[in-house]
Copies of this chain bind each other. A is one copy, B any other.
């Protein structure tokens, strides 16, 4: 059966999450319904990451097997027409070999978390970021975050509902950057535990407002105890930004359209050469 790879952007707000559920419409179901309308086949869409209710994607990746061959471009265009009015867009559709598996072949998952650090409620960015009122020390958050990078038992930052067999994960990077009144957190790993990013972000904000220290965060990690986790950050600020695959499967991605305000003027630029590996990969792939 021909296998297709889809790169998908969505606004997670109106959905119960990526995965099919009884209690409402999921992104997976919306995609499968559009596929069924187009191909008259009942195919299962397999995603790289199961985003929770309200979590967005700039570049979710999925694969699907169809009975018939389709011209990939036409498949993507047709799906987009049928997905309307859902805020889901197929950014790219391509034919892949049967060795490609959106979940199992993934080498790195990149998440972005957006905080707007201001007193005023969100208007234009409502549902797209977490508004945090007290001033955040992004530098202190970044420094504290480095204790979480590497191979650790992440039980402290794991949701009670998490079904993973092991709490051990290897976090490749956890960067915190300020750009005007926006604080962005980027996390990359082969895989994450359930709500790991939102749990880490919540604890980092405790450091950012001065309620806890880098030492407290390190101690909380080492305790491997869920009760040591700070408040879990809301879903609205989280984006599955990109999923990387081995060369043979391409390195496609999605990016959030950037606004002109502050572009290139934030701490990101000031931090110098390091910058954002998500951006670098995005730009090099262009």
Q: What residues of chain A have their CB less than 8 Å away from a CB belonging to chain B?
A: 9-11, 56, 58, 76-77, 80, 83-84, 87-91, 112, 114, 116, 118-126, 128-129, 177, 179-182, 184, 186, 241, 255-266, 268-269, 276, 278-279, 282-283, 286
Contacts and interface: CB of A to CB of B under 8 A. Distances in A.
Contacts of A268: 260, 263-264
A249 to B, nearest CB: 20
Contact of A262 (B56, B116, B128, B279): B279
B255 A180 contact: yes
Given A90-B120, A279-B262, A11 B126 contact: yes
Given A121-B80, A126-B11, A264 B269 contact: yes
A218 to B, nearest CB: 26
Given A112-B260, A179-B258, A182-B258, 7 more contacts: A180-B286, A186-B260, A255-B259, A258-B259, A261-B279, A264-B265, A265-B279
Contacts of A91: 118, 120
A37 B196 CA distance: 42
Nearest to A85: B126
B124 A10 contact: yes
Contacts of A58: 124, 261
Given A255-B180, A286-B180, A123 B261 contact: no
Nearest to A91: B120
Given A264-B264, A265-B283, A124 B259 contact: no
20 contacts: A9-B123, A58-B261, A80-B120, A84-B121, A87-B126, A116-B257, A180-B258, A180-B286, A255-B262, A256-B259, A256-B261, A257-B259, A257-B261, A258-B260, A258-B263, A258-B266, A260-B278, A261-B278, A264-B264, A264-B265
A266 B258 CA distance: 10
B124 A9 contact: yes
Contacts of A124: 9-11, 56, 58, 87, 128, 256
Nearest to A8: B123
A10 B125 CA distance: 10
B11 A260 contact: no
B89 A120 contact: yes
A161 to B, nearest CB: 27
